[in-house]
Chains A and B, each alone.
Chain A
């Protein structure tokens, strides 16, 4: 890892993700300072891993994350599949929102502060085609745009140019990304081809690492062709790129908790945690669970807390819980974050077949010990639907931006290039200051209420300013232009902000300040 990577990791872990015009460097002082030395020692320990879980088919977010504050409206929209309020799982410190009754695992992780619910994620002009919508999520494209490379592929290519040509190397001995599956997702399509290695499936992988496969491949016919095919298949197993590295990591790594049986997602995550524990330096893992296209019989007709969707959510929740437990026991928990996503949500209103049709926005989960903010946005407003579809609050690329910047440690220009434009980072991995404290008297914000230009002034700014954020009431970080006026004054342009109350938070030196700012129009 070069110093640039490492500093970004280190700074993210110290909650200093954003530097304004380089002023933050002042706080660091000389590169030989004790502070800098501490950062350097963190280098190897902060090799971050991202696990992506694709929920294929379009997940019904409204029955996964339930708006307890709008239960009558919710029940009216989906009379035949609505979950009874009494059964919905409650969340600590979050009375408005609950989880599907089958998601006890995620409930406990949330209560431990290891899950962030990002509400109503989508993108402008949503698409209802499975394939197209998936491509948009994979590539990070605008709805009208055709991109042939994936967002993760572009990120990995920016960090390790030219991959896979010329790799593995001494410094990068392992695959950059591993997908547990048969094919690599478009999300990993890089300019020079797939940036991920697909490990065919747990069974074939077991063959690769020397365990007995759980299923037998049908033997090919006893013809010359059949004999060649048998031989080629043997060679294929040993030719999976990076096979020896993967095999070594799998041999060294251990699962330290018991995984459930009959849970296809847990089977995949079990491999991931084993490889992480075994020291594989792979940055991104990708697993898939299908079956979310629940047009019919999403719930049973007699008990809406059971049925196909309940089974899927239980599979998902149990798998994430056992994976997270395994990471905790392994001691790798600090290095791993995961996200779930699905190509779209489903209609707020149910259909007559006890199912739901293709919809728009849906919540997603980001999980891991690095999570700092457990709710991004708020419950969808069921009284403000668009053709019975839930409206977007957060663009999915804002979530990608958070993962790339605050988790994987990519630089802001790089992330802007990967995502094609600058997206406001949702503060999943940033401490959101919800209780506002008065600014130190040495620091003043004026005018307040504001309409166009706001000045922030005080001697404390001399220590160097970092991580200045303007946060809206739903927790989203709003990008506003900032100018340094002098070494003790900053100006912010708030013309683009809608009227309302915002929190301004900043760090100056080792002190944190925040205050409420009213924008009037």
Chain B
């Protein structure tokens, strides 16, 4: 049985949760139930159903979409925040869909940042490109990203002109976006840079124009032949002139790179680190990466079939790989909100509530070292760039900050607009088969909550030292029944709620909660 063979049995609850933890920023208990019993194929089809295109972010001052406005120096920072909050809101509110997890993957692949591209209209526009290609065709994707106005500015493609080539993009195109270091020469970087001469963006921080576009200036294009090294079979890209020269040569460049088997392996490995595990053994390389890379190449670089094979494979559902990923700050922060069905308010009708909740989540992401659209370098977050680096998310400081976040959630101290972040633990307890039985309550909560199985002694510990510390177990039953017989009594409700809250706070603080 090959690792890439499809797993066809109906999903158990734990498998459904595993799939959703990896394919989204985290499931709710209802979504886990929805996916339990589905075949992996049916489940992934649901995850790949294209959701509606989101409405654009708005200027907080006028509530107009700012992509329909000229640049406004005064509002620049507000628009930057609005863009990040808008995207975070999509991650929080999305149903069981692969899309936002994929868009974040690509934003971290084709990195551009607000730190360099200080025009929210550019960054929003780029996000729509990432979104439209997220599970589309990789060849078309690379071409569009090469010409993307934000990317042209971020990696200086707009300064790359004949006679004075700027090699920045040409290098990252190969090193980071398509084939990986070691598979091209320095001369190939120079040659690719000449292929890419002539492109520039229009409208950056323009206070008079709404339009943002890319244009090809044929006069700035290097019309001579570009000769590549043996790494590319000594390929020659013939120099062109005229208005179509840029597109023609770019197409040939991308085809030349993607024709190398190493390029498809490079992309599949990166997807593997995003969805499955950070370590790639020789066995995985040969029996999982290689067949998927072949599928990618033979399938004309369509992303969707490769992701489908990956997420429905025998290997994906290998029990030993549950919990193999250390949660990113997004998976922890957004994922925890998603688990409790907390939604970002509408950005227009409840502007302050929306902004406050998103600002809170964004601040937590940033302090835990994951600032969307502002990666520290073009390499993206290191846990996904390099092999074997998930643990980089965790150090004594970030761990304390992770605990601080979950403590704030359980304490119910976070306010946004007229609302308060409160986790409904009684509702969560009622989802178990018998909430009055502390054994069932903790067993079922643990199964839904943690990617890894808790040992019997850990579950006993949660019951005897955390849920009902120091009391006989039957006291939980009595307290729960007392509450259920008089459910509107605030005091009785609080009696059980306090215990559930303490338990949750403790479970959040367990090392096991940090993996997915």
* Interface residue ranges, A against B (CB under 8 Å): 56-57, 127, 129-132, 135, 143-144, 146, 148, 181-183, 186, 189, 191-194, 218, 220-221, 223-226, 228-229, 231-233, 235-236, 238-239, 241, 243, 288-293
Contacts and interface: CB of A to CB of B under 8 A. Distances in A.
Given A135-B498, A193-B407, A293-B471, A223 B413 contact: no
Given A228-B326, A228-B391, A182 B496 contact: no
Interface of B: 277-279, 320-324, 326, 390-391, 394-397, 399-400, 403-404, 407-408, 411-413, 451-452, 455, 457, 465-466, 469-472, 475, 478-479, 482, 490-492, 494-496, 498-499, 502, 505-506, 511-512, 514-515
A161 to B, nearest CB: 14
Residue with the highest number of chain B CB atoms closer than 10 Å, among A129, A143, A224, A231 = A224
Nearest to B506: A183
Contact of B492 (A129, A288, A289): A129
Main secondary structure of the interface of B (DSSP, over half): helix
Contacts of B411: 189, 192-194
A218 B457 contact: yes
B471 A235 contact: no
A290 B514 contact: no
B407 A194 contact: yes
A407 to B, nearest CB: 26
Contact of B495 (A135, A182, A189): A135
Given A130-B475, A135-B494, A223 B394 contact: no
Nearest to B503: A183
Contacts of B502: 183, 186
Given A146-B494, A225-B452, A290-B469, 12 more contacts: A131-B499, A189-B411, A218-B457, A223-B324, A224-B324, A228-B515, A229-B512, A238-B396, A290-B471, A292-B470, A293-B471, A293-B475
Contacts of A194: 407, 411
Contact of B397 (A231, A236, A239): A239
A129 B470 contact: no
Contact of B498 (A131, A229, A293): A131
Contact of B515 (A135, A225, A289): A225
B469 A183 contact: yes
Contacts of B390: 228
A298 to B, nearest CB: 13
A235 B498 contact: no
Nearest to B323: A225
Q: What 4 A-B pairs come out closest when comparing CB atoms?
A: A290-B470, A225-B323, A56-B470, A224-B324
A132 B399 CA distance: 32
Contacts of A290: 469-471
A130 B471 contact: yes
Contacts of A183: 466, 469, 502, 505-506
B20 to A, nearest CB: 17
A239 B400 contact: yes
Nearest to A129: B495
A220 B324 CA distance: 13
A243 B412 CA distance: 26
B64 to A, nearest CB: 36
A182 B413 contact: no
Contacts of B457: 218
A235 B395 contact: yes
Contacts of B496: 131
Contacts of B400: 239, 241
Nearest to B453: A221
Contacts of B326: 228, 232
